[in-house]
Chain A
Amino acid sequence: MAGVVERIPDKAGIQKQIMLPWSKALQMTRENIFVRFGRSVITASGIFLGTAFMSAVFFGGAAAAVKAKLDLEQGITPQEAEMQARIIWLVTMSLVVATVGIVNSMLMSVTERYKEIGTMKCLGALDRFIVRLFILEALLLGVLGSVAGAVVGTGAMTIMWMGRIGAKNTFAAWAAPAMKLGGSPVPLWLCVLVGVVIGGVLSMLAALYPAWRAAKMPPAAALRSEF
């Protein structure tokens, strides 16, 4: 057993010698997103639709608030009270639907790459490299998807409301309260921004569990899977 004892200094050195620099991980992730473009679009579209719907609802809330103020100035009684409850309900639903969509597509996208994951582990990848690659990919797709969703969602609503209350009032909606949180109004721009951040974080969280589970698999089992 002398051989084992002699090798202990070696073992200490091992720790530092396996690495995956962030720059390389980012490059690999970028390539992955572009090469599997179809799959990436499907993954991102879940979060895209969710944020598009959410920001449209927010925009509608804010624009309605602007309109209510205009109506009040003209002596018309606005009906605003029940809007609040409906907006929160709609936003929650859109988030739930988007989350289920992302979890589903992340599961698929990890599962169809089991073999690749097994191969990477054979080449010396640590479990956390695998998790890192998937998290990065999910984060990028999530941010891209939710930014695009916010742009399209608010864009469509802008066009719609411009016809009703004019361009100036429509753009004023960005500062108007889109919803009330604990009694205090939250302006539209903040709601949309938080929505985009939540979109990115949610898609990252959705990838975390499947990626971690796949990374933990013994390479032999990962390599056996056929997809």
Chain B
Amino acid sequence: MTTTTGEAAGGSVYEYIVRTKDLAKFYVMGGQEVRALDNVALDIRRGEYVSIMGPSGSGKSTLFNMIGGLDKPTKGTVFIDEVDMAQLSATELAWLRCRKIGYIFQTFNLIPVMTALENVTLPMVFAGLSTDEALEKGANLLKVVGLGDRRDHKPTELSGGQQQRVAIARALANDPAIILADEPTGNLDLRTGKEIIALLKQMNEEKNVTIISATHDLKMIDVSDRVVWIRDGKIERIEERADIKVQVGEMEGEEQ
């Protein structure tokens, strides 16, 4: 299938944090087989910001679930840091989700009964941090995302943008190598969406965390190192930042 290695950068060897091989997911719907993902080979470099773009139903959320270990593929393999995810036990998979990957969702998915700080510290509790350590680290993370004064608020007392900031702080709780975001700006207005994208980019640069975002928000292209276009469960094309600069200008212009 599509070759996605780093040849474009003059033969330099990249360190890949995520690799998928012949990845496929088939569903049976109403007696018919739906190929949500078909033969996807995608290599993602450590520290890069990748956007997975495509119309709804193109398979980008399915790809998100496969990379995040949230669902099992029908065929093929996902390697995280060269470890085959299918070989992991339930506990190891939980460890991976807890420590290696941070998740961000379109609907924020904060635990409604918990305050912002409790939401951010929950993954730290699972990781075995003491209460004091967790509280200190959690409060710092909330400051980083600009919500230092909202730590004791419940999700219902926060705006959408604020909830997504809490979600970002929570995703960063255990210093993950990867942040997986599924339509992170999908429920936000234009301006708040931009702020969230800027925050993700800032985390990407400051903490060198790899960001993989499934989205159809064109504003996201601006900050992406690479854009993976998906259609009908297959990778249509992969564009490097250098190749898309020109197009971005046009699209941004259209939107404003």
Which residues of chain A have a CB within 8 Å of any CB of chain B? 3-4, 7, 11, 14-21, 24, 28, 31-32, 35-36, 115-116, 118-127, 129, 218-221, 223
Contacts and interface: CB of A to CB of B under 8 A. Distances in A.
Contact of A220 (B71, B92, B127): B71
A19 B109 contact: no
B224 to A, nearest CB: 23
A126 B113 CA distance: 20
Contacts of A127: 90
A124 B123 contact: yes
A115 B87 CA distance: 26
A4 B82 contact: yes
B94 A121 contact: yes
Contacts of A124: 94-95, 97-99, 123, 126-127, 174
Interface residues of B, number: 35
A18 B82 contact: no
B10 interface: no
Interface in B104-128: 105, 109-114, 122-123, 125-128
Contacts of B72: 218
Given A35-B113, A115-B109, A123 B97 contact: yes
B157 interface: no
A3 B83 contact: yes
Interface in B72-98: 72, 81-84, 87, 90-92, 94-95, 97-98
Given A4-B83, A20-B126, A221-B71, A125 B109 contact: no
B251 interface: no
A126 B94 contact: yes
B5 interface: no
A156 B57 CA distance: 61
A218 B25 CA distance: 14
B170 interface: yes
Give the secondary structure class of A's interface.
Answer: helix
A219 B122 CA distance: 17
Contacts of B87: 4
A122 B97 contact: yes
A219 to B, nearest CB: 4
Contacts of A31: 113-114
A134 B72 CA distance: 26
Name, among A35, A124, A221, A223, the residue most crowded by chain B CB atoms within 10 Å (CB to CB). A124
B190 interface: no
B91 A15 contact: yes
Given A17-B128, A218-B72, A123 B91 contact: no
Given A17-B95, A223-B109, 6 more contacts: A15-B91, A116-B111, A124-B95, A127-B90, A223-B70, A223-B105
B70 A17 contact: no
A19 to B, nearest CB: 5
Contact of A125 (B71, B103, B126): B126
B64 to A, nearest CB: 9
A124 to B, nearest CB: 2
A115 B109 CA distance: 8
Contacts of B39: none
A121 B87 CA distance: 18
Contacts of B70: 118, 121-122, 218-220, 223
Contacts of B128: 16-19
A10 to B, nearest CB: 9
A121 B125 contact: no
Contacts of A116: 109, 111-112
16 contacts: A4-B83, A4-B84, A7-B82, A16-B128, A28-B114, A31-B114, A32-B113, A119-B110, A122-B109, A123-B103, A123-B126, A124-B95, A124-B174, A218-B70, A221-B71, A223-B109
Contacts of B174: 124
B65 interface: yes
B68 interface: yes
Contacts of B114: 28, 31
Nearest to A126: B94
